[in-house]
């Protein structure tokens, strides 16, 4: 299953996720479904400006497969 969502977080907002203080990110996909995935997968998208973009989360049997930044 593929879920598409947009996420915008400042560096300060994302820092607790980056440090592992929060283990999961919960957001709403473009189809209205609530999605939750391990925050560690978002670390590679962190920049000096934080995390910003549109992403595709792919799962199979409710297990994480991949996270891709689309733009």
For residue 19, the Cα-to-chain-centroid distance in whole angstroms is: 15
- What is the predicted pLDDT for the residue at 23? 95
CA 35, CA 63: separation in Å to the nearest integer? 12
Q: What is the chain's percent helix, strand, coil content, to nearest 5?
A: 25, 50, 25
DSSP category for residue 39: G
**Separation of alpha carbons 15 and 52, rounded Å:** 14
The predicted pLDDT at position 47 comes to 94
pTM: 0.91
pLDDT digits (tens, 9 = 90+) for 10-51: 999 999 999 999 999 999 999 999 999 999 999 999 999 999
């Amino acid at each position: 299953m593929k879920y598409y969502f947009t996420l915008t977080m400042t560096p300060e907002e994302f820092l607790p996720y980056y440090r592992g203080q929060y283990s999961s990110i919960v957001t709403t996909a473009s189809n209205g479904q609530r999605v939750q995935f391990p925050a560690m997968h978002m670390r590679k998208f962190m920049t000096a400006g934080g995390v910003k973009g549109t992403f595709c989360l792919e799962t199979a049997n409710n297990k994480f497969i991949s996270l891709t930044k689309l733009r």
